[in-house]
Structure 1
Amino acid sequence: MSASRHPALFATDPELASFVAAEENLQAETLRLIPSENYVSAAVLEASGTVLQNKYSEGYPGRRYYEGQQNIDKVEALAVERAKGLFGVDHANVQPYSGSPANLAVYLAFAEPGDTVMGMALPMGGHLTHGWGVSATGSWFRGVQYGVRPETGLIDYDAVRELALTERPKIIFCGGTALPRTIDFAAFASIAEEAGSVLVADVAHIAGLIAGGAHPSPAGHVDVISTTTHKTLRGPRGAMLMCREEHAKAIDKAVFPGLQGGPHNQTTAGIAVALHEAAQPAFTAYAHAVVANAKALAEALLARGFDLVSGGTDNHLILMDLTSRDVPGKVAAKALDRAGIVVNYNTVPFDPRKPFDPSGIRIGTPSLTSRGLGVGQMGQVAEWIARAVEAAAKSDEAALATIRAEVASLLSTYPAPGLPLS
């Protein structure tokens, strides 16, 4: 990597610039299988680093607290219209700084401190902000959780309904961070209507799949859609809230002035670019390829004797239980990292181990799909994972080094978007 790629940064702060260059090389040379990560395009990178960084823009288009917003209003309005068109919603707010603040805005819009809220339990695949105890949402609200069936690893919708009718939560969240199967939004909508609850679909992980038609959409079923804008959507690190028109005022007020001040306009611009890209036919092909790759990888892992939660996947994500391999998830994840395969250790449903030292690892196919790898390479990926887990069990660092060289060799023929190496 040469200084020509970031000349001003290298000239001003060569130490920091060296860290950025090292990260660019790391992302180029390793197989990134964390399902919440991806590669943004060069266009998204450029939009995220523009002079829009210099503007304060508290308020909304046409209703700002600062002057000089002629261009900023156009940028935000463009992002909003693209979000509405892509996801088929009445209203969109593109200002939330990230997914957790977006979810907190939902609470501010529809609940009071102490109210009952309901979401999937974190160890079962849910998210911290769905009322889990260690989160502010579990401290300020009374969180009740649903889970999955032990024998299938699938959401038990009968149990969800029973819990909802018993607890009558103000808000029900569907969606999570480690759910390898399709979410039945219609089933959740029926439950929420019967319980008198506001239904929120947190689609942060699958937003790109929804935009590309590779996963059913919650639009028309739920009151609010919450999502980050990176992950499968391949945008910058930001978030959006989308909703029915009747909830637009409450959502906007909760975001600003309820929780935050001026939006990050450079991020809004990156979101607008990503939404434009997601409306193209190539993105539809990418979204379906993400799912096809995940299914092929799951089948290859099953063929090698691995235990997968729910027996496979319908989306971009695979949750692997390593209990039968007698290798803890954390040990396996760190060994895979040394082998050039980046995953994260993760709890599995009914995990007897502690969250910081769990039984599983979480694997996803968005990043490798963005690089152009296809179903034909998934057998090789599964073989590397199997060899690395075996090497972890034997503390065989030489084997991990061999895998790392093989990974780098393959990836040299699949350049990463936004990362042209000099």
Structure 2
Amino acid sequence: MKLSDLLKKRDALTREARGLIDTAEKAGRAPEGNEQTRLDEIRTECEALDVRIRNQAMLDEFDRQAQAEPLENGGGEFEREASQVSLLRAIACSAGLDGDFGREREVSAELARRSGRKPNGILVPTQVLQVRNRRGFETRVTTAAGGGSGSIFEQGRPDMLIDALRSNMITTGLGATVLNGLEGGPVSIPAIDTGQSGSWIADDAALTPADIDVNKRQLTPKTVGCLTEFSRNFVLQSSPDVEDLARRDFSNALAVALDGAALVGGGANEPSGVLDQITPGTLATPSWQEVLNLVKSVEVANAAMGRLGWAVNPTAVATLRGTTKVSGDAGAGFIMDSPTELAGYQAMSSTGLPLVGSPPTGSVIFGDWSSLIVGAWTGIDILANPYAATPFAKGNIQVRGLMTADVVLRHVESFAGATDVPAA
């Protein structure tokens, strides 16, 4: 029997005993006859229950402290178990709450074995960032009673997994290459900086040899994290919709951080992103020709292939949509006629491209986004802290999630951009 069931049974006996004693006191007498007999029975049952409660509490504590067995069997056992891991159960396990967390502990042990690192809390697979349906509300501090503003997502097929990280990152939406499930230390990505070239020759003439210059780009493990807060009642929920809320909260936070590093980066402990590596052009006086010049700079580098598109700051979108291609002639159209297209290529807007300088100016990036590689290592380290000062006062649980990831460009020449688009 579960510890919670034993405690409930003891509480019921206590209430029954209190009722018998209260009845006797109201009558101005001591318990007698059948009343006293039942009180003696309750005392005996409670003493036996106390022993069972102590033993069950000891076993539960041993289970919490036990090292789970890694899932090493073949046949896809680990993948099946990992797909069933609950983010909320992992949080509850880390917070020391009561529950059956066997699957979460076993998967964590296997992830630790594969990655060669010991987690501070409990490791969960990156699958926990996948939302199993698209119906729910999105809140930053999430409680079981709801509250806060949110957006409603249209209903989708419940059997289809929606990769939340991909859907929330514009870099992957534009076509960035994502490498999931990386293990160990740095991962080298081959890159051909100088390829072979063909030439025309006369009869019996020799071809001029051309060596291929093959280099490598390296993904190095870096840590990206998020800190959020859940109510205790929320963590104890078993509804799939509530599980999806928790997953969405984590995936949104990590997506914003990864997108910012991929688009810009270069800050303390951050990867070096696109804007950190390229030499920006100019759109200080936005014109159709300047936009085409950015496209041309990628084309003349023979890098206009793969997934071509634009990442644009909202400030730059407003300016380009309000600027005519031909000065003073609205009939000729605007530089950016559509919010999702610029110069014939897909465009996506993101505040991950920051405003620059004073007065602040917007940024744009054009390029082959398949040349941007986002790498994610196996496992997300979840650590719950029910004693953090502010959440503790509200009965909430503070949860930290740490993910190991990196971004790298295979070819800097695949991108061009500007950081001086004036505000409209």
Same fold per superposition (TM over 0.5) = no
More helix by share: 1
RCO higher in structure (CA 8 A, sep ≥6)? 1
Larger Rg: 2
**What TM-score do the two structures reach when normalised by structure 1?**
0.22
